[in-house]
Homo-oligomer: A and B are copies of this chain.
Amino acid sequence: MVSEPKAVTRRRKLRDDLIAAGERAIAREGLRGLKARELAVEVGCAVGAIYNVFADLDDLVFAVNALTLEQLEKTLTAAGSAGADPGDPARALTHLAIAYMDYAATHTPRWRALFDHRLPEGRAVPAWYSANLHRLFAYIEQPLGKIAPKLVPAQRALLARTLFSAVHGIVLIGLEEKLQSIPLTVLREQATVMVAAIARGLAQE
């Protein structure tokens, strides 16, 4: 039988095409830009065919969000090597915060999709996606460990998530301009002041 490998290839190609189309839609408009009918038109398949390769659209969103996490990780790696003074973990943290802010400002719809994605009741986040997500926190945990060497790993992991949440809040409210319209340069400065204060405060404890 030669037809089976071909079917597998076709299936894989359809999957890749749908992810690429989903990525473009989410990059343009965020999650609300993702519509099965439009995806099907774009890749040239029947709407029903989407559900042969994805259990549902949530599965497709996870695939796209994983690509966003990859992009984000690249900017964090670049930020890490730009401020590559292993003796200055506070500076490493402010660089990471600014890199995160800049990513969110530049790729706002796909950044938002990471957080706007709500699963139906009872449906859990896939383990492979969680693993990708948690890997990103190592970038924060590493300098944090240098600043507060007394923290045991579990405390450090928790504090890294809290620090991320704090920076995320600054980025979120800053970009939404809910409180007031703040230019990105000022927002960067504010994030730097705040993260630097956190680093000093944690070091001092």
Give the interface of A toward B (CB within 8 A).
115, 133, 158-159, 161-170, 172-174, 178-180, 182, 186, 190-191, 193-194, 196-202, 204-205
Contact = CB atoms under 8 A, between A and B. Distances in A.
A68 to B, nearest CB: 14
A197 B133 CA distance: 26
Contacts of A170: 162, 165-166, 169
Given A133-B179, A170-B169, A201 B196 contact: yes
Contacts of A161: 173, 179-180
Interface secondary structure of A, over-half rule: helix
The 7 residue pairs across chains A and B that have the minimum distance between CB atoms: A169-B169, A197-B201, A201-B201, A200-B201, A166-B166, A165-B173, A162-B190
Given A164-B179, A200-B204, 8 more contacts: A158-B190, A161-B173, A161-B179, A162-B191, A163-B194, A165-B173, A197-B197, A200-B201
A7 B174 CA distance: 44
A184 to B, nearest CB: 14
Counting chain B CB atoms within 10 Å of each CB, the highest count among A164, A172, A193, A199 belongs to A193
Contacts of A182: 158
28 contacts: A133-B179, A158-B182, A161-B179, A161-B180, A162-B170, A162-B193, A163-B194, A164-B173, A164-B179, A165-B174, A166-B167, A166-B169, A166-B170, A166-B194, A167-B169, A168-B169, A168-B172, A169-B169, A169-B172, A196-B201, A197-B197, A197-B200, A198-B198, A199-B201, A200-B200, A200-B201, A200-B205, A201-B202
Counting chain B CB atoms within 10 Å of each CB, the highest count among A166, A169, A191 belongs to A166
A173 B178 contact: no
